[in-house]
Amino acid sequence: MNAKDNMESEELISVQAYCTTSHVSISLIDNLAESGLVQLTVRAEQRYIAADQLAHIERLVRLHDDLDINVEGLEAIDHLLQRMHTMQEELQRLRNRLRRYEHPAG
């Protein structure tokens, strides 16, 4: 499957529909996209959100609305969460390697 096929099969939700059903302002989604926190797909002059980004967007919206965190704060939080996730993955890889040395097969 090439990149074009993947883009065509990707489930997309219009920004307008998402904002209407979720009671989120379009300007917030625009600000998140401008800051690079969210990637929007444009087709036929309409903007769409990939379905696999919805959980991330909802987390950012909750932080923004519930804790009154601005977009710059969301950028910092997102960066730290990504670093933490990377460190957790590295820790798991190191634990797995250590187990192999502690309990060699055979």
The alpha-carbon radius of gyration of the chain (Å, integer) is 19
The mean pLDDT value of the chain amounts to 91
CATH number given to 3-102: 1.10.1660.10
What is the SS3 assignment for 48?
strand
Domain residue limits, the chain: 3-102
Answer whether residue 8 shows pLDDT above 50.
yes
Q: pLDDT tens-digit profile of 64-103?
A: 999 999 999 999 999 999 999 999 999 999 999 999 888 7
